């Protein structure tokens, strides 16, 4: 049987057949614009309703006992959208952090942000860092916010970090293995997703968690994100429970 990578070992249930809750669920929250178009509404209304769906999903994940939830909130490619839409999305982010942060903090949720920060507008970067600082010691669910994030960019930056360590003499090139690579990523210390849910019927990763999703189970639903609710989440979990996770081997790790 193929050995399970060290970073995945904690997610394997030692009791075959037991319905084990996934530790980490990731979301590609897709379809806000199409939801609005189907109703004759502006795209901005789709994004506003999508934020409401996010609030409900975070709440439900916490109630279920999910340990980590990652959301693809804004990709590095999203800057190519019309300026008015980008500005609206930035405004939604500000409102989410300013209005919802206290509730998330009360719920004992720990916020962690992944993605490129160096070229962000200072006010946005300050809000993201403040959210992390305020919730740093919370011991409940970790909400990972992928903002200005691209999987390929993350891999490039991780390679640059490792190359710099080799150049400085801190490590040898032969020291670079899967665990070293995982530790150089934005998601260092976070277990890989057990389940990734994408809404709106699209069947692709869209540059999201490329390294981390090597052994992730995928659930694709035609439901647009603004309509995603607790029952949709539960349906995705039921689908997940029926999977056999072999990690390349022949002996199934049944969830």
For the stretch 123-132, pLDDT in tens is 889 999 999 9
Q: What does the pLDDT look like over 167-178, one tens digit per residue?
A: 999 999 999 999
Asked if the structure places residue 29 within a domain, the reply is yes
Is 30 one of the catalytic residues? yes
Range in 13-27, 165-179, 189-203, 236-250 with the lowest mean pLDDT: 13-27
Query: Six-digit token pair at 117?
Result: 């920060």
Q: How many domains does the chain have?
A: 1
Asked if the structure places residue 133 within a domain, the reply is yes
Query: Six-digit token pair at 77?
Result: 């490619």
pLDDT of residue 140: 97
For the residues 78-92, what does the mean pLDDT come to?
Answer: 86
Asked if the structure places residue 107 within a domain, the reply is yes
- Write the CATH number for 69: 3.40.1180.10
From the list 30, 186, 192, 194, the catalytic residue is 30
Asked if the structure places residue 112 within a domain, the reply is yes
Is 227 one of the catalytic residues? no
> Residues at the annotated binding site?
30-35, 43, 47, 75-77, 79, 81, 198, 204-206, 217
Structural domain boundaries enclosing 217: 21-150+193-240
Asked if the structure places residue 168 within a domain, the reply is no
Asked if the structure places residue 255 within a domain, the reply is no
Asked if the structure places residue 106 within a domain, the reply is yes
> Residues at the annotated binding site for Mg(2+)?
30, 217
From the list 13, 78, 100, 229, the catalytic residue is 78
Average pLDDT, the chain: 89
Query: Six-digit token pair at 186?
Result: 């934005």
pLDDT of residue 14: 42
> Residues at the annotated binding site for substrate?
31-35, 43, 47, 75-77, 79, 81, 198, 204-206
Asked if the structure places residue 174 within a domain, the reply is no
């Amino acid at each position: 049987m193929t050995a399970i990578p060290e970073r995945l070992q904690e997610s394997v249930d030692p009791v075959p057949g037991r319905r084990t809750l996934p530790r980490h669920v990731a979301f590609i929250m897709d379809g806000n614009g199409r939801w609005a178009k189907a109703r004759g509404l502006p795209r901005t209304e789709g994004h506003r309703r999508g934020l409401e769906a996010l609030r409900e999903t975070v709440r439900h994940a916490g109630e279920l006992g999910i340990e980590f939830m990652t959301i693809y909130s804004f990709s590095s490619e999203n800057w190519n959208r019309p300026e008015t839409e980008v500005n609206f999305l930035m405004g939604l982010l500000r409102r989410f952090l300013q209005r919802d942060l206290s509730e998330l903090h009360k719920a004992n949720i720990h916020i962690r942000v992944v993605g490129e920060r160096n070229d962000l507008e200072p006010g946005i970067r300050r809000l993201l860092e403040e959210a992390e600082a305020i919730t740093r010691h919370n011991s409940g669910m970790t909400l990972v916010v992928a903002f200005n994030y691209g999987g390929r960019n993350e891999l490039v930056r991780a390679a640059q970090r490792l190359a710099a360590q080799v150049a400085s003499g801190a490590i040898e090139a032969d020291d670079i293995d899967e665990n070293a690579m995982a530790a150089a990523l934005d998601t260092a210390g976070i277990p890989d997703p057990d389940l990734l849910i994408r809404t709106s019927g699209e069947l692709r990763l869209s540059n999201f968690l490329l390294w981390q999703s090597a052994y992730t189970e995928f659930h694709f639903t035609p439901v647009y994100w603004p309509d995603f609710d607790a029952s949709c989440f539960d349906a995705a979990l039921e689908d997940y429970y029926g999977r056999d996770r072999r990690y390349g081997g022949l002996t199934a790790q049944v969830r």
